[in-house]
Structure 1
Amino acid sequence: MSAPSSLLIDRTATPIGELLLVADDDGALHAIDWTDHEDRLHRLLRLHHPGGCDLRPATDPGGLTRAMDAYFAGELAVIDRLPVRTGGTDFQRAVWAALRGIPCGSTVTYRELAALAGRPAAVRAAGHANGANPVSIVVPCHRVIGSAGALTGYGGGIERKGWLLDHEGAPRPGRPPNRFPYRSPD
Structure 2
Amino acid sequence: MGAAATALEETRKLPQTIVMYPMTVASQVAQLVMKVQQDVADLVNKGDETLDQLFPSKDEQPEWATFDEDLDDGDGDSMDAGAPHDGERLTEGRFALYSTGEPAGYEDEPAPTATTTATPGVVADLGYESLTLAQLRARLPQLKVPELEALLAYEESTRARAPFQTLLANRITRATAK
Bigger Rg, structure 1 or 2? 2
Task: Calculate the TM-score normalised by the size of structure 2.
Answer: 0.26
Higher helix share: 2
Q: TM-score, normalised by structure 1?
A: 0.25
Higher strand share: 1
